[in-house]
Chains A and B, each alone.
Chain A
């Protein structure tokens, strides 16, 4: 019935969920490269294999990163995607945009590229998907005129990214958007001229809910928290209970350290402050009644990453608590010490979590000038294989 060239992808225009195929077709109506992208993808769907080659080194003047080279392996069939490079544009922290700014970006991308984007890529960048080598520089020049800089790629600092934070969240213990903006500005050279053994990611969440997934996927995770105690408004607690909220099942029973107890006679939520591990559940469940503490800062976790090569790691506690206030001198200094150690000691394509695993956390702590804290471990060692140094033993005989 139909003579469509893309019957498989057409199938993915049906159904309720927004269709990426429809999006490619919109771009294809205007751009020959997006049409070739669609046709090459149809071939991938038919053959069950990808048709992109390894990237070559392409970029814009003055930058070593921010552009990912991409070439079609089927350029003879799809000449318009022979070169189909990605520009990683540094997003606005928190992913807020004015429509004016976005329209300006679209105008430039319609002029120089495929008209296709990712809002946003996994790391957080605003991804402009598909242009030629020739168009990279004029595209970037025009983007830069409009205030858009590139993000990171390769063995350097990747575009820092974070949660919405204080802009629209009562849980935010630190100004994650501002921190992300300032850390990005401070470390521009490390982002744009990658010179480290491998990638290094910084992500920031305003609280332990970690909406930015910082602990799981960043080498240096900044997680907002507090060092005094959370605040309970007993009247508001009563309102929740009166409204039928199951405080025992959803709050008391879920507290990881049994620090909460509801006295139904007194209608009071009792709280063992010293046992609180600031997990956020009670606050999440009763945001009107329970608030974060007032003396706020962040925990720093190190080493989070996906599986390749040694294993996936969820970040490890490095600094149990530190202040994270503008102008962020203390935390910038810590990042500098850590990335210098990383640059000096890591092997090629070794993430910092893998480096720490290889050299030992104790050596790493010494290397970056931090002292061991019990918060760093879930339990002390259970094996007797302790390294003693010469200066720790008595020289004799």
Chain B
């Protein structure tokens, strides 16, 4: 039997010598060009990190190609970022330009640093998830084909973090992104009573409902859904496969804006609803890519230097946000869940 419980490989065996030497002793960094970080150690040592975009879903063939590049220019070390980018770590300055030339020749996008749209944190979607309302990788590809010019430059007022979640479970930090794209259902689960009775734990299904919309049906050893209370989250389906909720005609995508995770300047904040529904229109989701591009452009045109999307909206107000973007404000935008009163306006201070 194999050994167990030994944990992750020791990072000390995985870091390049320049990092081992300057560990905890870096002095400052600069971004000499988009996609290139220059870290300077107290020792005077310099490390360049060259960042490229990745699809996140990648083949062993591509990993091996990355390894070839890292062997050639980086002494056999490579790093990935929390946003799925790849970083080549260059300690020999003479290797920097040849590496950049090589990456360009291969058609790779160098960027994702500073005031850019970095790579998109996203989920599995139709590729490998059992509860998706949309695909994630396809949405990312379609959006970033439009927006990659903002990945390879640093022209945004501040950094812009995009995320895609294929359902409201929101794997990843989707709910605190500058722009979050979230797959949603809009019709109630279809109950297969026989299946519920056979395979599902009724109390758990009832407990899984955030709005208390599910009640037992003892006669059938199953459950019923109160249509008035159901807001289509699909959590019951997560608990019970006999409560199918996916609906190819009515599932789609919602767009949320203004979240952030950093504490810099302002506190971390949730993304808030901008567009309640856009259709699933694969393979390129044109309605979604247009909407995201529009949001990015209105933000870029109106925010001040250093302002994240949520900070810009806080300054100009949500009422101005809806005016500037031309997005209709509807009853769907007004919270009606647990903490809704905290979002109602309790002052006569607002813009008309």
Q: Is the CB of A268 closer than 8 A to any CB of chain B?
A: no
Chain B 54-89 residues near chain A, CB threshold 8 A? 54-64, 66-68, 70-71, 76-82, 84, 86
Complex contacts, B47 vs chain A, CB 8 Å: 168
User: In the complex the two chains form, is B125's CB within 8 Å of A309's CB?
Assistant: no
Report B119-149 CB contacts with A as 1/0, cut-off 8 Å: 0010101111111100101101110110010
User: In the complex the two chains form, is A348's CB within 8 Å of B24's CB?
Assistant: no
User: In the complex the two chains form, is A12's CB within 8 Å of B138's CB?
Assistant: yes
Complex contacts, A312 vs chain B, CB 8 Å: 170, 175, 270
Q: Is the CB of A271 closer than 8 A to any CB of chain B?
A: no
Q: How many A-B residue pairs have CB under 8 A?
A: 341
In angstroms, how far is the closest chain A Cβ from the Cβ of B207?
7
User: In the complex the two chains form, is B210's CB within 8 Å of A20's CB?
Assistant: no
Report A153-173 CB contacts with B as 1/0, cut-off 8 Å: 000000001011011111010
CA of A307 to CA of B210, assembled, Å: 10
Complex contacts, B350 vs chain A, CB 8 Å: none
Q: Is the CB of A314 closer than 8 A to any CB of chain B?
A: yes
Q: Is the CB of A287 closer than 8 A to any CB of chain B?
A: yes
What is the total number of residues of chain A having a CB less than 8 Å from a CB of chain B? 123
Q: Is the CB of B10 closer than 8 A to any CB of chain A?
A: yes
Q: Which of A109-117, A338-346, A359-367 contacts B (4 or more CB under 8 A)?
A: A109-117
Q: Is the CB of A100 closer than 8 A to any CB of chain B?
A: yes
Known: A52-B130, A95-B79, A170-B26. A208 touches B264 (CB 8 A): yes
Q: Is the CB of A254 closer than 8 A to any CB of chain B?
A: yes
User: In the complex the two chains form, is B5's CB within 8 Å of A287's CB?
Assistant: no
CA of A192 to CA of B283, assembled, Å: 38
User: In the complex the two chains form, is B60's CB within 8 Å of A115's CB?
Assistant: yes
Q: Is the CB of A284 closer than 8 A to any CB of chain B?
A: yes
Known: A50-B130, A55-B130. A17 touches B148 (CB 8 A): yes
Q: Is the CB of B8 closer than 8 A to any CB of chain A?
A: yes
Complex contacts, A103 vs chain B, CB 8 Å: 64, 67
Q: Name the residue of chain B whose CB is nearest to the CB of A163.
A: B82
Interface SS majority for chain B: loop
User: In the complex the two chains form, is A310's CB within 8 Å of B338's CB?
Assistant: yes
Task: Report which of B1, B108, B175, B264 forms a contact with A209, defined as CB distance below 8 A.
Answer: B264
Q: Is the CB of B282 closer than 8 A to any CB of chain A?
A: yes
User: In the complex the two chains form, is A116's CB within 8 Å of B39's CB?
Assistant: no
Complex contacts, B2 vs chain A, CB 8 Å: 60-61, 140-141, 144-145
Q: Which of B11-19, B186-194, B222-230 contacts A (4 or more CB under 8 A)?
A: B11-19
CA of A250 to CA of B307, assembled, Å: 9
Q: Is the CB of B328 closer than 8 A to any CB of chain A?
A: no
Q: Name the residue of chain A whose CB is nearest to the CB of B74.
A: A99
Q: Is the CB of A101 closer than 8 A to any CB of chain B?
A: yes
Complex contacts, A175 vs chain B, CB 8 Å: 24
Complex contacts, B276 vs chain A, CB 8 Å: none
Report A79-108 CB contacts with B as 1/0, cut-off 8 Å: 000001010001111111111111100100
Complex contacts, A352 vs chain B, CB 8 Å: none
CA of A85 to CA of B3, assembled, Å: 21
User: In the complex the two chains form, is B4's CB within 8 Å of A306's CB?
Assistant: no
Q: Name the residue of chain A whose CB is nearest to the CB of B127.
A: A41
Q: Is the CB of A24 closer than 8 A to any CB of chain B?
A: yes
Q: Is the CB of B168 closer than 8 A to any CB of chain A?
A: yes
Chain A 163-214 residues near chain B, CB threshold 8 A? 163-164, 166-170, 172, 175, 177-178, 181, 184-185, 188-189, 192, 208-213
CA of A209 to CA of B4, assembled, Å: 35
CA of A200 to CA of B342, assembled, Å: 27
Q: Name the residue of chain B whose CB is nearest to the CB of A255.
A: B265
Task: Report which of B19, B24, B78, B251 forms a contact with A102, defined as CB distance below 8 A.
Answer: B78
Complex contacts, B168 vs chain A, CB 8 Å: 307-308
Return 18 A-B CB contacts under 8 Å, by A number: A12-B138, A15-B141, A17-B53, A17-B140, A23-B62, A26-B61, A45-B135, A90-B8, A94-B79, A115-B60, A118-B57, A144-B4, A145-B2, A216-B176, A256-B266, A306-B175, A308-B210, A347-B207
Chain B interface residues toward A at CB < 8 A: 1-11, 13-15, 19, 23-24, 26-29, 39, 47, 49, 53-64, 66-68, 70-71, 76-82, 84, 86, 108-109, 121, 123, 125-132, 135, 137-138, 140-142, 144-145, 148, 168-176, 204, 207-210, 233, 235, 238-239, 241, 246, 248-249, 251, 261-266, 268-270, 280, 282-284, 304-306, 337-339
